[in-house]
Amino acid sequence: MTRKRGDQLLRIGISMLIAFAPASVLVWLLNPTGPLWIAFATAGIVTASHAIHLLSGRIPTAVVSAITFVTIGLAGLMLAVNIIIVPFSAYLAWFDLVADGTVRGSVSFVFVMAAAFFTTALSVGVYRRVFLVPVAGSAFIVSMLLALIYQHWITAFATVTLLAVFVVTLTGRFLADQSRVRAVRTSLAAFVAVVLFSTLLGAAHRPRGSYIVDARLAPTLRDFVVRNVPRFPVMYATPGYGYSFEQSTFGEAPTLSSSAIFSVYADPGSRVYLRTEVARVFDGRLWAMEDPLSSGVARAVLTRPTSAYRPPLPFDLEFEMGFVDSLGGEIGDAFMDGEVHVALLGDFYPMMPHTLDMERAVLYTNRDSSIIGTRETGFRLDPPIVHRDTIVIQRRLRPPDPSSIPRPPDLQEYTRTHRDVPDSVRQLAETLAGGTPIETAVNIRDYLAAESEYTLEVGRIPADADFVEHFLFDSRRGYCVQYATAFTLLARLNGIPTRYATGFLVSMPYDSNYATVSGLAAHAWPEIWLPEYGWNIIEATPPMQSAADLSWFYRDRFGVGADAYTRRQLEAVIGRDADDEPLEERSAFVDTLAVAAPPAAALFVVIALAVVVAAGIRNEWFVASPDRRFATAGRKLVKTAMRAGVQPPDAIGWRAWNGHVRDACGPNHGSPAPVAHDRALHLVWSAYFGSRRVRRIDAEFMRAYQSRVSRSLRSR
């Protein structure tokens, strides 16, 4: 009994090592960002169920198989979703980070999930007394992932070698009942085939991604994941992962993540518009975002090492008899003189967040970097900034002298509209015209606030509809994209030069100089040209028109609060009353269930059917003929005996085989009786070599005999 328990503990230990060690090594090497418990929960559930079954026998074999199948199946599904929803460009940027020694983030989490999935699936073989195949397979998986990550000849050579070892051991496992000469010949052929195949795969080529995955499948999966698992660490769009106003689904419900992207230091109570991209041309359906690469040659940006950066001293303000900061000084002494510090909390970011009134920017990074673009296009950094890199933006402290403001030579381009502007939109623009550009802009802003509802839950736009006309007169529902686009078009129809900008809106708390920015703060807004001031931001989206915490006003005035998705976004941008938290959380949970229940139920039905089919095949539920049941039980019996070291009957004869099976089973409790061995041998002779027809009772006996022999051999 002691020897048996020791063997069981050894198998459990080896399986746990195979399931947990590779993923743990990758966690240590790659510094992933994500819910690591998901990866290790897969290994834990599979290992625990098999260990309990092996040590106590209280869980039936069929239940353990079902748990293993469902757990590994769900892990594989999650791995596939992770791989798909990460944009191809994010993988390319991540590999650049690996080369620089700054590896971390969401792509690292994908590799950890891959290691946990494959090694957990391989570890199951240990419980069936198969050791070499799981060990060789796990070593190959880890080596292959390291070869993909670091792309060094040593890891590539180790991967090819371990793949060959894995294939040879796997081939030897399947050919255990064949002659040694044939097994060796087949294994060598498999080894040569693997080496040649690996050489072809290792040929130099440039990956290009997949249009179907990147443009069709990935956006759908991203939207589902973000709505139901808002803190899942995936990249949603590049540039600017963490949010998505994708052109392929422009104006439809956006994908916004609550995962942190930046940390921002700025003056308490201020509003910071961090610009990333700018658009000038609108065709009635989409904005053509300006490409920074078209603006000219890359220029050097002022950089300093990351170690030289010293963040501002964080402080809180107390509201007692006026504004007094908690450090004991006057509030004016604590302000940051207009500086904005933006530190990246994510993996990488290719654009340079900046303000419209930026005078100079200093980039704290450990890599040389250049900047491409202008304020009319946005700025791109080459290479991108990475985690913990910080941009210090020095803003203009005073309004410019009107006489010093240069008039853009292409200003007329910002008053152009697309040819097919509907008459209804033109007539509305005429009614909103004021005596001055500022008065006209205020009229447009007030009209949009009064005649529409702010929400992220918008439907699909008809294919033949004009984007702005549909928003103004049909749906009357939208978010910043609809408001900024409608404002820009109405302003241009009144002769006001206007452009469309995207980025992040940061509403700094009144009592602190620090804020965390997530994808929920993604925003779009118009910028208008005024001769006496130059380009100026004007807020067209109603709930964003004040930095004050007036959530009760926006909820009642503009109908905000009908869905949890919109409330969650507004909470991140303008704040929420503490009393609203329980209601918001309950509503979000109910909305999540409503969205997730149908696909979850469908997935459960599919998995249940798969389990039933697998169990039916394993237990011969679909084999009706006694002859087939008898033959199936005989094949299983031979394979079970082979795993215990008994040579197949074709090699030693049925009588000798029966004797070896008797000896292997021994007189252990639960082993078949001698009369059962004799009857099994008699049935095989009469069925295979005689003319006796197999009856149903014979097939049932052979199945019961095979089951008793299997239990007896496993319990040795």
Q: What is the mean pLDDT of residues 9-31?
A: 86
Q: What is the mean pLDDT of residues 212-239?
A: 52
| Amino acid present at 415 | T
pLDDT of residue 596: 47
Q: What is the mean pLDDT of residues 104-111?
A: 81
Residue 257's closest CA among 238, 232, 220, 274? 232
How far lies 307's CA from each of 266, 362, 363, 381, 393, in Å? 21, 14, 12, 20, 18
Q: How far apart, in Å, do the first and last CA atoms of the chain sit?
A: 9
pLDDT of residue 175: 54
pLDDT of residue 432: 94
**Which tens digits make up the pLDDT trace of 548-597?**
444 444 444 444 545 777 887 787 777 543 333 333 333 334 444 444 45
Say which residues have a Cβ less than 8 Å from residue 515's Cβ, sequence separation at least 6.
263, 264, 266, 506, 507, 508, 509
Helix (H) or strand (E) holding 135: helix 132-150
Angle at 137 between CA 133 and CA 139, to 5 degrees: 125
Q: Which stretches does DSSP call E strand in 365-439?
A: 370-374, 378-386, 390-395
Q: Are strands 255-256 and 243-244 parallel, antiparallel or unpaired?
A: antiparallel
Residue 112's closest CA among 146, 71, 63? 146
pLDDT of residue 283: 85
pLDDT of residue 448: 93
pLDDT of residue 487: 96
Q: How far apart are CA 93 and CA 383, in angstroms?
A: 9
The per-residue pLDDT of the chain, averaged, comes to 75
Helix (H) or strand (E) holding 443: helix 437-450
Residue 325 CA from chain centroid, whole number: 41
Q: What is the mean pLDDT of residues 231-260?
A: 58
Q: What string of DSSP letters covers 293-337?
A: GGG-S-EE--EE-GGG--PPPP-BEEESSSEEETTSSBHHHHS-T
**Per-position b or e across 613-650, b if 16+ CB within 10 A of its CB:** eeeeeeeeeebeebeebbbbbbebbbebbeebebbebe
Higher pLDDT, 169 or 672: 672
pLDDT of residue 242: 46
Q: Does 236 score more than 50 pLDDT?
A: no
Q: Does 139 score more than 90 pLDDT?
A: no
Q: How far apart are CA 539 and CA 520, in angstroms?
A: 17
Question: Is this prediction's pTM over 0.85?
Answer: no
Say which residues have a Cβ less than 8 Å from residue 547's Cβ, sequence separation at least 6.
269, 270, 271, 507, 508, 574
**Which tens digits make up the pLDDT trace of 267-317?**
888 889 999 889 888 888 888 776 666 666 678 788 888 888 888 876 655
**Which tens digits make up the pLDDT trace of 179-220?**
555 555 565 666 666 556 555 555 444 555 544 455 555 556
pLDDT of residue 537: 92
Q: Does 390 score more than 90 pLDDT?
A: yes
Q: What is the mean pLDDT of residues 365-374?
A: 84
pLDDT of residue 171: 64
**Per-position b or e across 409-433, b if 16+ CB within 10 A of its CB:** eeeeebeebeeebbeebeebbeebb
Q: What is the DSSP letter of 214?
A: I
- pLDDT band at residue 654, thresholds of 50, 70 and 90? confident
pLDDT of residue 151: 75
Q: Does 341 score more than 90 pLDDT?
A: yes
pLDDT of residue 600: 54
Say which residues have a Cβ less than 8 Å from residue 143's Cβ, sequence separation at least 6.
155, 158, 159, 162
How far lies 678's CA from each of 479, 628, 662, 675, in Å? 80, 21, 10, 5
- pLDDT band at residue 325, thresholds of 50, 70 and 90? very low
Q: How far apart are CA 318 and CA 315, in angstroms?
A: 10
**Which tens digits make up the pLDDT trace of 58-75?**
677 777 888 888 888 888
pLDDT of residue 620: 54
Contact assessment for residue 363 and residue 378, using Cβ atoms and an 8 Å cutoff:
no
For residue 576 the two structure tokens come to 């929420």
